Amino acid sequence: MTTRLRVIFGVGTLLFLVVSPVHGSDNATTPLVLWHGMGDSCCNPLSMGAIKKRIEGAIPGIDVLSLMIGKTVIQDTENGFFMDVNEQVAMVCSQLSQDPKLKSGQFLRAVAQRCPSPPMKTLISIGGQQQGVYGLPRCPGESSVICDWIRKKLNSGAYTDVVQKHLVQAQYWHDPLNDDLYKKHSLFLADINQERVVNETYKKNLQMLDKFVMVKFLQDTVVDPVDTEWFGFLKTGQAKETETLQESVLYKEDRLGLAAMEAAGKLHFLATEGDHLQFTEKWFNENLLPYLR
């Protein structure tokens, strides 16, 4: 039996992977893998823990694993800010390939493109920054000091080797005023978005999805530009006018296979009122749970 995954991806708070039952398992439900974003941890009772309980309550018997990027919760939180995203993706690929419940049976999209085993069935991006950002992060509470420091580093040189290697925010920083610099020095985003060369393996693996769902928050004050949540972005050479996915070179040349996926009915665009990752339990149950069942 081939394992298929359904995935929810959200930058800043949560990432989900859902996997079909392993052959021979008594559990008929799909295992779920959670992966938090920047500023969060695997086990926060106000975010990942609450989401985990909500899903377990809605889907009895489901196995839920919340990924820890590091050996402790503190390391997990710090790595969300400072660990090379490529190393994080490799670590998650390794964890998934070694988990007995999964065998045979802008981050998670990279997993879909780079690590096709176990294969994914559905990818859901919740506020995910598919084309990166060109706005500086706004972080509340204790994280604000870190975000202020990140702002200074991005302003001083987002595409320097040191900043690219050690700041997660820099690795999906997309400067439309310095397009050549972005394409040449972006360690993560330019690679998974096929900005330099077309990696046919990435393209083939992403097109193996049955559904790619993108959720945009209509009053998002964290992600800039908000169009990136639907794979749109600022037009190259200026920083005011945006273009949709369908207007982009990425789509017109079909460098990632998104045009073919839309033609096949695989792309789904959802929108909700509210700020970044702010949604009600009712909205979650009505719009996201159906993809997890």
The pLDDT, as a whole number, for residue 174 is 94
Amino acid type, 171:
Q
Omega before 140 cis (within 30°)?
Answer: no
> 52 with 84: CB under 8 angstroms?
no
Q: What does the alpha-carbon distance between residue 197 and residue 255 come to, in Å, rounded to a whole number?
A: 9
Q: What are phi and psi of 157, to 5 degrees?
A: 165, 80
Domain spans of the chain, in order of start: 32-130+189-291
What is the average per-residue pLDDT within 177-203? 95
The CATH number of the structural domain formed by 32-130+189-291 is 3.40.50.1820
Positive/negative CA dihedral, 106, 125, 43, 33 = negative
Query: pLDDT, tens digit, for every residue of 56-93?
Result: 888 888 878 788 888 888 887 776 777 888 888 888 88
Please list, in sequence order, all residues whose beta carbon lies within 8 angstroms of the beta carbon of residue 154, skipping any fewer than 6 positions away: 136, 163, 167, 169, 170, 173
Look up residue 287 and give its two tokens: 């719009």
- Cβ-count burial of 71 within 10 angstroms (0-12 exposed, 13-18 middle, 19+ buried)? exposed
> CB of 5 within 8 A of CB of 18?
yes
**DSSP run (H or E) holding 7:** strand 5-9
Give residue-wise pLDDT tens across range 224-254. Answer: 999 999 999 999 999 999 999 999 999 999 9
What pLDDT score does 18 carry?
Answer: 53
* Mean pLDDT taken over the chain: 81
Q: Which of 69-78, 90-99, 158-167 has the highest mean pLDDT?
A: 158-167
Residue 196: pLDDT over 90: yes
Greater pLDDT, 26 or 122: 122
Question: Can you tell me the distance from the alpha carbon of 198 to that of 250, in angstroms, rounded to the nearest whole number?
Answer: 10
pTM as predicted = 0.80
pLDDT recorded at residue 227: 96
Asked if residue 28 has pLDDT above 70, the reply is no
Question: If you average pLDDT over residues 24-40, what whole number do you get?
Answer: 65
For the chain, what percent of residues have pLDDT higher than 70?
A: 81
Question: With contact defined as beta carbons under 8 Å apart, do 139 and 277 qualify?
Answer: no
